[in-house]
Amino acid sequence: MIVLPGSHRAAGLVDDAALVRAMLEVEVAWARVLGSSVDLGDWVPSLDPVEVEAAGNPVLPLVSALRAKVSVAVHTGLTSQDVLDTALVLLARGALERVSADLGRVAGALVRLADEHRSSVMAGRTLTQHAVPITFGLKAARWLVGVLDAVDELEFVVRNLPVQCGGAAGTLSRVEDPVASASALAGYLGLVWPGLPWHTHRAPVTRIGDAVVRACDVLGVLAGDVLTLGRPEIGEVSEGFVAGRGGSSTMPHKRNPVLSVLVNSAALRAPGLGAQLHLCAARAVDERPDGAWHAEWPALRALLELAVVAASQAAELVEGLEVHADVMARRAREAASDLLAERGGGDDPASYLGAAELFVDEALKRWKWRDDR
């Protein structure tokens, strides 16, 4: 079976088994709202795919299995979308927290690189050509700021993840005290009650997707820079060596920058999945959509898995990144006439760095502020 390279890094977070467990968590929490106590231990039902297809979603088979397991009231007053949407939000929370944690590792490694190489002169490049001198510390600081922006957005989304609770058509008509019940469900699950159901208002899902796509954008820039700077004819950085990684099936000399390639690949895939979520949101008609909702589940899960894997790979990439400052300095000296043309000439690229070091300090201050919170 063809799998996403690195998918083991996301094992148990967004797969089918995780989704079933999350749906059970929602049903158990709702049973508490109804005044019932449900203790399932480690029990997780195996859903029949034929029954899932017949129902059009996995909730009905789950509820049938749950009602056969327990004698107390479960699911009463909810609808399938309440359970599945909330379960997907719970999966998203776990995935986003993992992504944020790995982005924290990326940021920590970038802080070290920015500080260590604040004076490591290299050629700045614009539109693929030599521009003016910069430092590798400044490049790492720019990566750092992008990562910190992404973490801030992910953390905001996680703090505001909403419960879905609307009943058959968004009225909670079968519940005695609808608002109190929905608020209680949110409280049991550690989510937010947004004030009304969002069956056909899919901003909570697109908000998750947008934050994830932007995180992948940031990692794509980092990976793309590493790929460029790591080309043999440039040779200014390289991925850390790991035995057995980066080999070729035909060329014994190859040491491919596998992590950078895979992170870059994730950045190229993520926007399409995010766009799919927006397309589904735009077709969320009636009180429950006729296919748009269904198309959303696999896109969201694929996007979450992609981000979890890419963030983990990026953390390993940056923590092991080898910076060849001597090569950077040599190339900058060789290109001094180009790099200093804006100033009118010269032969010392280190003498024309402007506020590069000050900008590094500003990025490091932001990290320190987060670290001190």
Residue whose C-alpha is closest to residue 306's, from 215, 207, 227, 225: 215
Paired tokens of 126: 């614009």
DSSP conformation letters of 228-257: HHTSTTT-SEEPPP-TTSS--SS-TT----
Strand pairing partners for 121?
135
Is residue 151 a contact partner of residue 48, using CB atoms and an 8 Å limit?
Answer: no
CA distance 373 to 370: 5
Residue with tokens 């922006």: 149
CA distance 265 to 250: 22
Residue 253 to residues 248, 250, 256, Cα–Cα distance (Å): 8, 9, 10
Catalytic annotation on 80? no
Catalytic residue among 248, 330, 337, 370: 248
Backbone angles phi, psi at 57, to 5 degrees: -165, 165
Residue with tokens 């993840």: 161
Catalytic annotation on 46? no
Residue whose C-alpha is closest to residue 215's, from 314, 82, 328: 314
Helices and strands: H and E segment counts in the chain: 12, 4
CA distance 296 to 45: 24
CA distance 356 to 165: 51
Catalytic residues, by residue number, are 248, 288
